[in-house]
Amino acid sequence: DIQMTQSPSSLSASVGDRVTITCQASQDIGNYLNWYQQKPGKAPRLLIYDASNLQTGVPSRFSGGGSGTDFTLTISSLLPEDVATYFCQQYDNFPITFGPGTKMDIK
């Protein structure tokens, strides 16, 4: 299985900050990488697919980048509603696997 790691595991930032989360795959996955946001008690929400494509309806302050083994999710200007846990997910190889998550809150 492809192992996904994320850093940091938790993050505290101020409203208006630019925030970047990283995700690393244990082998080359091309751009077959998706990002999700999950708020407590809710299902995950797809933010970014194929590493850099913004899902319909997702605010443009979210962006994704990277390819191969190293990927990033960036929030250009953090808002209070962005408090959540963020997960990456690869689908280059089955089984599909997820990162452990990055928990983000507001300072």
Partner 1 sequence: QVQLQESGPGQVKPSETLSLTCAVSGVSVSTYYWYWIRQSPGTGLEYIGYIYYGGRTNYNPSLKSRVTMSIDTSNNQFSLELNSVTAADTAVYYCARGLGVINAFNIWGQGTTVSVSS
Query: Which residues lie near partner 1 (CB under 8 A)?
Result: 32, 34, 36, 42-46, 49-50, 55, 87, 89, 91, 94-98, 100-101
Report the residue number, 33 or 75, with the smaller CB distance to partner 1.
Answer: 33
Nearest approach, Cβ of 65 to partner 1 (angstroms)? 17
Alpha-carbon gap, residue 60 to 73, rounded angstroms: 12
Nearest approach, Cβ of 106 to partner 1 (angstroms)? 23
Report the residue number, 19 or 86, with the smaller CB distance to partner 1.
Answer: 86
Alpha-carbon gap, residue 100 to 10, rounded angstroms: 11
Report the residue number, 55 or 76, with the smaller CB distance to partner 1.
Answer: 55
47: left (phi over 0), alpha (psi -120 to 50) or beta: alpha
The C-alpha torsion from 55 through 102 and 40 to 19, rounded to 10°, is -60
